[in-house]
Structure 1
């Protein structure tokens, strides 16, 4: 068995593309090997800023021999068909070079050949060349006179099989090609000389000696450990930022973490401004003080050997501090300039920002939010209607500020600072900062009453608008993040235990779009929420079919009440009464369905009490009435456990009915009345849930 080593050596690959490219390279090569009938033991891909590498172990040195079989014409077929088959397969005599074999459709000619496997070293070059040319990238480029596209200029290809370089190349166009070889380079500055490799172990060892850490996980660990140690030495901690850690891991091949200091004159800027400026522009890590708040130290990763305290390190740190001062001076300018005008004075400028071509401007959205937030405040305990309206009016105003123009990720956050500077109530300022939340399952969910009102209004207004113009999510496509908006609404309601009548709120949101004409969206939007709720509860182990069964009653738009009903139904079905009643319901429903199909009519009318004959059917009828009445009373008081208990009383009467009563009686009137009685079982159970939707 042999080993295949591949390295694609290029100019710096964007950090965000490296992991996906390494996975794609591994996938394409392993799929091609399987297609070529070449087995292997293991495959592992790696990425650094300047290289993609792949090692595959346990490859055979030759393909196995295979037998090819081709079916020809039927015995006695026209001469033209036989001649065509012989010519296509290079046969001169059917009798000698083909065999006649009996099949289900009669005797047919078959040609069977043994094909000797090729040497793996002969198969690989053409296979790899095609894969390298077709490697997918989110963005690619051409350079010089080349016609071949790649993410960045490609300088070399290592392709070593069984210790020897493969004979192949990747055509780049204009007569130029990158030839396969066994030579690569180390760190761009610390070890730029070329060296040859004979296999993966040799490759990895020589790369390390040439100041390149091949494994991303190892580089990531080194950065995290160095940063933590430096921060500890300065009495601070590294602000957690896993995304930035992943990004800088893809920017360096030989990580060296260094620490710099933020100028004292900038420390009065909001912490979010400091950390965002450092992160977005410079890829610096922020640090925090033990008592909380941003510290005046920052950490950065140099792609250079520069021990802490060395002359080189001091030079690098000084250069980064100088660059940061310029960045923060820009931030200081925006901070000072933005506060010269109150947020309220910025609201009219929102008319110049388009929210959506069919849904108007951001100013239009803000106008709708004011009314909708005030309406929602009626259902949020502790919410002040006027504060909700004020927060909604100012929520988007910071979009016109210089700071948010420079750092879009600070929208809402800067609005809070500017609102406090203007003397707005803290609840209003906090609502401005939090109204975009939650942005995902791991994001914080607002709990302050005014914040909840505005956050709900923002998301529900967006959902209503896009539903009205029929721009709903389809399949995996959701360009306006409407699924995320719905999940945000669900979290806001559930985590804050709000009794929010969604149908009424959806109607209020739709009425605010005065320039649009559309059918009522409440039903469709509620169905959409039901599907999103299933996703949320599935992750919590709740059965989706129970949600469907409760929602199918058509009278539930209060998510808290819906969840309580689902929980009561789940508990009921786990009891003997519940599981047996479900079985009995299905038996009754199947009988009714079969007879309705046979009779071509529906048995959904009333039961004639006077026509009931046997004690068991009379008892069942009486219990159906009691169960229906009991369930309705319990539901009206939202005692869902009691509602389940009411229908649980049906179990014994239903069992007794099936044990002693013949449904398909000879007398047609008696038969019809008993079918009506069976149908009434489902109608009674439907008071609490549609049992036909329950699986299992």
Structure 2
């Protein structure tokens, strides 16, 4: 069985595209080979900045011969039908076989597709892959129609077996396949021939090319750590930057440089961001002070002066970059120390948040008002929460955040400290964007929590007002992330709030601001209707209040199901709890769902659900048949059997436990009391016929079933439980 080696050699491929490109190459080639009948033992794909490489081991030497029997038209069918069948089968009429079937004589064709050599199949598959490669961005060069991410220079394609290596003949837009490649662009630019993957990898390394991205990354990280350790420093971990830098070099040479003393007092995050974004440098910090004092850069070649010239050039460029950052920092500090945040907050009024939702300044007003109202629920001082919310977006007006948007929030903390604002204000500025993802830390400081909740609820209600909701996989305004943030903030801080109440409050603010903007735009004097598709009118306290349509709460519940799925809580269990009163209190809802999940996992709980469903089905059918509701009047004096009397007693005992437990929100106790009904309910159904001929007994027993339904339904809606 031969081995296949493919290399597509080009100008430098952007680092961000390399991983996906080599995966696409592997998938398209191997899928094409298998589809053509060529199976293989294993396949490995590797990449450097200038080459995509695929090595396939244990490939079949040729595809197997395929024999197929195909049923055709009836004997005597129109000539056109028979001729069409012959064309599809690639046969002549004298090659057809007539057979008798229950439906009469029918033509059958025996089709044989002979196997093809691996080289022919590989050539077809590789050419199709190159011509239709799914680059995110591609370019044309020269006069041909060929498109590639960067100009493609050569194609290496060989099959190797015991007899040696043979080139798979192939030509794509004037580029002919061969068995040669190039080494490092500067250190070993001459072409050389290879005979196998092992020979290819070994010769590339001698030509100063490390083929494996993982090996390059490991080499960079080890050398960087060793250099930093020797200087009593440590490298700031950044796996994303490491992967990117490993995609920029074929022969990594790690160098450590100095940062000019005048820049060392800049916030470490500013230094780190500037060096990472502009120069692709690793930051090296002093573990004792936390200051960024040096940088690590990775060259793509060895030099006679051991990188001194490279370092000098990099340090010169870095100094120019950091001089800009220092100017921004000092200018921002001058403003906040003299005027505080007021100029920046005022400037937010001229920055559009969304065309239909007004400016960032209007948004800050809404967030501050909501944070003030949320503060008591999260244990924060209302005035402090409002102050923090008013300042939380101020750094968006700073020059530093304009240059480095990823530092928003963090710079707010630094500037709040410089303006001598309360520490809670700076902390909230930094933390209120969190959590940004499922693994991100959740703020726990009360003021930060109040501002973070207000920020996310304002975003959700705002886009609900203008009917911009997520659809399918599209979520351009990250509303799913905002909803998950509200869920995590609420649960992990044990917060009890009514989402509908606070959402209604914020929707009214959106509506009022929207109406005011419309008045100003159209010079209106009357009221403006801003009720969107995501809103409804409700009467609260005798007045009309704009409330979110049910879809907003359903949106939260859907996100909650995804969140709780990792805990092993099924969606139907959550649905059983959502059906209960207070389902807009996420903390209450989750406590109920966790308790129900624990009960359903037991044998008593599972069997009780089945008993409840049986009781509910019998009762529902009887009520539909009789046209009455059996919800009152069950009397123990009409009980005939011991199991019937025992069920009366068990229901009374359960109700006596469940009612105070639910009032105290002690759901485990309430669920346990409900699960204890399993035995009496099972015994009742074993001994008693509900639909007896005696009307008095039948009515009494149906009312008893209604009592079962009532007691269980006070804990959760068990009709939602599947199975």
Structure 1 length as normaliser, TM-score?
0.93
Deviations 1:434-482 (A, max 9, x none): 1111111232221111111111111111111122223222222222211
Map of 2:524 onto structure 1 = none
Equivalent residues in 2 for 1:382-461, closer than 5 Å: 383-461=380-458
Is this contact kept in 2: 1:236–1:290, CA < 8 A?
yes
Quickly say closer, same or farther: Cα 1:558–1:84, change in 2 above 3 A: closer
Listed as ranges, the gaps of 5+ residues in structure 2 are 515-529, 537-546
SS of corresponding position for 1:259: strand
Moved more, 535-544 or 338-347: 535-544
Is this contact kept in 1: 2:271–2:292, CA < 8 A?
no
Is this contact kept in 2: 1:236–1:295, CA < 8 A?
no
**Distance in 1 between the 2:248 and 2:634 partners?**
81
**Distance in 2 between the 1:466 and 1:642 partners?**
40
Map of 1:29 onto structure 2 = 29
Deviations 1:400-436 (A, max 9, x none): 2211111110111112212222221111111111111
Map of 1:100 onto structure 2 = 98
SS of corresponding position for 1:53: strand
Quickly say closer, same or farther: Cα 1:603–1:119, change in 2 above 3 A: farther
Instruction: Determine if the alignment matches structure 1 residue 327 to structure 2 residue 321.
Output: yes
- Root mean square deviation, CA, Å: 2.3
Deviations 1:76-104 (A, max 9, x none): 434553354346556554xx522234557
Is this contact kept in 2: 1:603–1:676, CA < 8 A?
no
Quickly say closer, same or farther: Cα 1:56–1:443, change in 2 above 3 A: same
Map of 2:614 onto structure 1 = 587
SS of corresponding position for 2:58: strand
SS of corresponding position for 1:155: strand
Is this contact kept in 2: 1:549–1:692, CA < 8 A?
yes
Quickly say closer, same or farther: Cα 1:130–1:592, change in 2 above 3 A: farther
Instruction: Determine if the alignment matches structure 1 residue 311 to structure 2 residue 313.
Output: no
Is this contact kept in 1: 2:156–2:178, CA < 8 A?
yes
SS of corresponding position for 1:311: coil
Quickly say closer, same or farther: Cα 1:567–1:115, change in 2 above 3 A: closer
Instruction: Determine if the alignment matches structure 1 residue 578 to structure 2 residue 602.
Output: no
Displacement of 1:675: 4.2
Displacement of 1:529: 2.2
Instruction: Determine if the alignment matches structure 1 residue 562 to structure 2 residue 560.
Output: no
Map of 2:564 onto structure 1 = 537
Moved more, 214-223 or 285-294: 285-294
Moved more, 71-80 or 310-319: 71-80
Displacement of 1:658: 0.5
Map of 2:295 onto structure 1 = 298
Paired residues, what number?
683
Is this contact kept in 1: 2:48–2:213, CA < 8 A?
yes
Quickly say closer, same or farther: Cα 1:647–1:540, change in 2 above 3 A: closer
Displacement of 1:209: 0.8
Quickly say closer, same or farther: Cα 1:68–1:684, change in 2 above 3 A: same
Instruction: Determine if the alignment matches structure 1 residue 239 to structure 2 residue 236.
Output: yes
Map of 2:631 onto structure 1 = 606
Equivalent residues in 2 for 1:453-602, closer than 5 Å: 453-514=450-511, 515=514, 516-517=530-531, 518-519=535-536, 520-521=547-548, 523-592=550-619
Displacement of 1:530: 2.3
Deviations 1:317-372 (A, max 9, x none): 11111111101001011112222323221112212322222222211211110111
Map of 1:681 onto structure 2 = 708
**Distance in 2 between the 1:603 and 1:289 partners?**
80
Displacement of 1:167: 1.2
Map of 2:171 onto structure 1 = 169
**Distance in 1 between the 2:138 and 2:709 partners?**
61
Map of 2:526 onto structure 1 = none
Map of 1:147 onto structure 2 = 145
Instruction: Determine if the alignment matches structure 1 residue 661 to structure 2 residue 663.
Output: no
Match of 2:343 among 342, 345, 359: 345
**Distance in 1 between the 2:573 and 2:367 partners?**
34
Moved more, 616-625 or 434-443: 616-625
Match of 1:620 among 635, 647, 660: 647
Listed as ranges, the gaps of 5+ residues in structure 1 are 172-176
Map of 1:174 onto structure 2 = none
Is this contact kept in 1: 2:89–2:111, CA < 8 A?
no
Map of 1:645 onto structure 2 = 672
Quickly say closer, same or farther: Cα 1:111–1:602, change in 2 above 3 A: farther
Instruction: Determine if the alignment matches structure 1 residue 221 to structure 2 residue 218.
Output: yes
Map of 1:368 onto structure 2 = 366
Displacement of 1:55: 0.8
SS of corresponding position for 1:513: helix
SS of corresponding position for 2:715: coil
Equivalent residues in 2 for 1:124-143, closer than 5 Å: 124-143=122-141
**Distance in 2 between the 1:595 and 1:100 partners?**
65
**Distance in 2 between the 1:445 and 1:632 partners?**
35
Structure 2 length as normaliser, TM-score?
0.89
SS of corresponding position for 1:240: coil
SS of corresponding position for 2:157: strand
Moved more, 249-258 or 123-132: 123-132
SS of corresponding position for 1:372: helix
SS of corresponding position for 2:606: helix
Is this contact kept in 1: 2:401–2:407, CA < 8 A?
yes
**Distance in 2 between the 1:253 and 1:432 partners?**
42
Displacement of 1:272: 1.0
Quickly say closer, same or farther: Cα 1:86–1:219, change in 2 above 3 A: closer
Quickly say closer, same or farther: Cα 1:349–1:680, change in 2 above 3 A: same
Moved more, 266-275 or 681-690: 681-690
SS of corresponding position for 1:111: strand
**Distance in 2 between the 1:99 and 1:672 partners?**
75
Map of 1:39 onto structure 2 = 39
Quickly say closer, same or farther: Cα 1:91–1:197, change in 2 above 3 A: closer
Displacement of 1:603: 6.9
